[in-house]
Amino acid sequence: MSDNNRGFCVILGTGGTIAGRAARAGDNVGYVAGQVRVEDLLGGVPALQGSPLEVEQVDQVDSKDMHFGLWKRLLLRLSHHLARDEVAGVVVTHGTDTLEETAFFIQTVLQPRKPVVFTCAMRPATALVPDGPQNLLDAVTVAGHPEVGGCVVVCAGLVHAPEHLTKVHSYRVDAFDSGDAGPMACVEEGEVRWFHPPASRPIAERSEALLARVLRADALPRVQLVTSHADADGSIVRALLQADPALRPQGIVVAATGNGTVHQSLASALLEAMARGVRVVRATRCARGRVIPDTANPMPDSAGLPPVKARLALALSLLEP
């Protein structure tokens, strides 16, 4: 940490590849995620020995299996630690598969003033050259930086904002990208170099009502994700509308082609869903760009969010007050 006078850092472990273990060194594919405890991960980073740190194991999961219950526990543990005057920031170790979703969810609901730094790895802890130790060291550095606030993601030497982050590669260590916005900063030999000043990313006031609704809920409102493509029709949407009421979606996000365009057959079914009270939002399936707002289109756009984050934003907006 760059300034011990600010307090110390808490590291929360949730599992993922960074805590993965394989039967043999060098196996970067056939490993089991979420096997190494967070205190043992810390022991593999000599540069952090003697640093003022606390560790806590919140869960041990493969992040492909991330779920609302764990998000709620993470919210509670983050709220507890961030409220402590002696805590400067919190690092969360997480799997890469759903990292962009968890970080976006926590930022949206919690809007923390102190830094909450998510980090990860693309290689297990047992790899010949694991990437987790450097990522963890960089994350602690960022968590101790006096200018950092809110949720950020640190991976492969780069600092990303959750609202822009997307996993873009299936196995490379630099698996994440921030699209048109680009990364916020990089970490170079223990120093943070900013590309976008932190002040350019204002943090909204936390909605205590939203946080209370999330913690009170047993599950997020059901929001289905569908994709527009060649030969797309409305059969999936119509089947959802005919499902048992407990399984019927309250919202649908369509991963649309191009600038939010939707196959006419699918669009017809989505308009039927809207007429029956289902909220529909268009996002683009393109890796870059956004759906440009078009007030003439009856299906609203996702305000720049990609499909998986648009699904979360819509679900949060549907939570009963």
Tell me the catalytic residues.
Answer: 17
**DSSP string of 238-305, one letter each residue:** HHHHTS-TTTS-SEEEEEEBTTTB--HHHHHHHHHHHHTT-EEEEEE-SSS------TTSSS-B-TT-
CB 206 within 8 A of CB 213: no
Is residue 172 exposed (0-12), middle (13-18) or buried (19+ Cβ within 10 Å)?
exposed
Alpha-carbon distances of 13 from 19, 20, 35, rounded to whole Å = 9, 12, 11
Alpha-carbon distances of 36 from 3, 61, 65, 69, 166, rounded to whole Å = 29, 11, 17, 21, 25
Q: CA 132 to CA 94: how far, in whole Å? A: 11
